[in-house]
Chain A
Amino acid sequence: MRDYEEILAEIYQGLQDSGQDRASLTEDTELVGDLGLDSVQVMEMLLEVEDRFNISIPVNILADVVTVRDLARQIQRLTGD
């Protein structure tokens, strides 16, 4: 299983690459509520994260993801398989 902090850093990087301001991002940042991202935008952002950890993130998990923390935890779970 990957280190949570490492996954978090990759998510921040992905969000930054897609135009978000790094300074305003925290684990509590809501992907839809705060950043206004739709599911397609989140999946696009995750393509690099998937390559980095050699995983496929099912679109289905987004149903349970509200915050950056939720996303990091889901990805951590997937890397543990």
Chain B
Amino acid sequence: MALFDKFARLAAARRELARQGVVPFGVEVERIHSATEGEIGGRRVILAGTNNYLGLSFDPDCIAAAREALCAEGTGTTGSRLANGTFAGHLALERELADFYGRRGAIVFSTGYLANLGMLSSLTAPGDVLLVDADCHASIYDGARLSGAEMIRFRHNDPEDLRKRLLRLGARAADAVIVVEGIYSMLGDRAPLAEFAAVRRECGGYLMVDEAHSLGVTGDRGRGVAEEAGVESEVDFIVGTFSKSLGATGGFCVSDRPELEVLRYASRPYVFTASPSPSVIASTRAALSILRQRPALRRRLWANAERLYRGLEALGFRLGADPSPVVAVLLDTREQALAIWAGLIERGVYVNLMIPPATPKGRSLVRCSVSAAHEPEQIDAICAAFADLRGIGAAPSRAPAAGGRGGN
């Protein structure tokens, strides 16, 4: 196979989409007006696919903090955390994250992707075992691969399958690292963390939870699904991102393990990359403070999530999970998903198109994510746009006689 032959399949898929008149991956947001509105294709659209759960990317306090840091500390650190790239703000953010989670320590990474890469690749090494939920994010799989550890997948959200696999490991189970997510990004479903924690108690191992989509979203204090499930003390490592509810970029890990402090020196994705810019650190700190002080944002987020979920459910669309800020509309075919996605843009609504291989079990779907910054009227407008497209993806009735899913 010649060097560039490997791209033939991707190029063909891209041509096929372009032939249908759409470029779903790599949409240009020509202008951005707020956390919930922008312009795509010269058209004003409601943004309902941004993961901007608390709407903080346009919060005046976050912007002011970023602006102040930008003027005082410059546009970038131009260096690694190990060299010249650790400013006072980076350390303050680590202290604030540890305090927020009630943990001994925290590490800040430059992106959420790098947080998983950096943690898994340094925590485990050849000879160790990682047990990874089948639907975990690519960053977890890539981190596992970089570590060289033995990686075993278990069935998605299936504590019994995890249990079986831990038992098969025998004595090795004691040092195995189990990785799950709080809320899964594609379908918005939550991990049964209490059950996973029980399996871990019975069979051994360490538990890592990625709260990327649940920080600021669930739990009494907004710490995520582990808090909501009441099992934080049984989670050894929590990783997360600043690029969703905190409205910036970056990632982190918190833990009570004293080794976390030295782990950073062994973490290549931490060592060999530039640290986050001062303005990013400043807005993240402001956003974390808002997340802690304004639980009303979380209530608004959930009210919007319920409103969208109930609206789409009433229209007869098949939805991916219970109500959550991620509302996935399941379609039978790639073509249906594409038609709905493009039809929504024409009607002034941007959501995410998700097709295999990015989706679990080869499903095609359009994924909405809701924000606390959405006005109820915007949620209603999203539902109205979907209503227009009901002919494409909604079942004519919810009666079982409708025949169920197609055989894709």
Count of A residues near B, CB < 8 Å? 14
A40/B150 in contact, CB under 8 A = no
Residues of B136-182 at the interface with A, using a CB-CB cut-off of 8 Å, are 141, 144-145, 150-153, 155, 165, 168-169
Q: Which residues of A contact B168 (CB under 8 A)?
A: 54-56
Q: Given A54-B168, A55-B168, A38–B357 Cβ distance below 8 Å?
A: yes
The answer to the question of A24 belonging to the interface, with a C-beta cut-off of 8 Å to chain B, is no
A41/B357 in contact, CB under 8 A = yes
CA distance A61 to B369 in the complex (A): 36
A44/B361 in contact, CB under 8 A = yes
Contact mask for chain A residues 49-64; partner B; CB cutoff 8 A; 1 contact, 0 none = 0000011111110000
Given A56-B165, A56-B168, 14 further pairs, Cβ under 8 A: A38-B357, A41-B357, A43-B153, A44-B134, A44-B361, A56-B152, A56-B169, A57-B152, A58-B151, A58-B152, A59-B144, A59-B153, A60-B150, A60-B151
Contact of B155 among A41, A47, A57 (CB under 8 A): A47
B357/A43 in contact, CB under 8 A = no
Contact mask for chain B residues 116-147; partner A; CB cutoff 8 A; 1 contact, 0 none = 00000000000000000010000001001100
CA distance A58 to B145 in the complex (A): 11
Give the Cβ gap from A19 to chain B, nearest Cβ, in Å. Answer: 9
Q: Which residues of A contact B145 (CB under 8 A)?
A: 60
Chain B interface, >50% SS class = helix
CA distance A58 to B126 in the complex (A): 12
CA distance A55 to B153 in the complex (A): 12
Count of B residues near A, CB < 8 Å? 16
CA distance A43 to B169 in the complex (A): 19
CA distance A55 to B168 in the complex (A): 7
CA distance A58 to B153 in the complex (A): 7
CA distance A9 to B150 in the complex (A): 26
CA distance A36 to B169 in the complex (A): 31
Give the Cβ gap from A28 to chain B, nearest Cβ, in Å. Answer: 17
Q: Which residues of B contact A36 (CB under 8 A)?
A: 9
Q: Which residues of B contact A54 (CB under 8 A)?
A: 168
Q: Which residues of B contact A43 (CB under 8 A)?
A: 134, 153
Give the Cβ gap from B181 to chain A, nearest Cβ, in Å. Answer: 16
B357/A40 in contact, CB under 8 A = yes
The 14 listed contacts between A and B (C-beta, < 8 Å) are A41-B357, A41-B362, A44-B134, A44-B361, A47-B155, A54-B168, A55-B168, A56-B168, A56-B169, A58-B151, A59-B141, A59-B144, A59-B152, A59-B153
A59/B151 in contact, CB under 8 A = yes
Q: Which residues of A contact B144 (CB under 8 A)?
A: 59
Please name the residue on chain A nearest to B155 by beta carbon. A47
Give the Cβ gap from B240 to chain A, nearest Cβ, in Å. Answer: 24
Q: Which residues of B contact A55 (CB under 8 A)?
A: 168
Give the Cβ gap from A63 to chain B, nearest Cβ, in Å. Answer: 9
Q: Which residues of B contact A56 (CB under 8 A)?
A: 152, 165, 168-169
The 6 closest A-B pairs by CB, nearest first: A59-B151, A56-B152, A58-B150, A56-B165, A38-B357, A56-B168
Q: Which of B134, B153, B168 has the most CB of A within 10 A?
A: B153
Give the Cβ gap from B323 to chain A, nearest Cβ, in Å. Answer: 28
Give the Cβ gap from B10 to chain A, nearest Cβ, in Å. Answer: 12
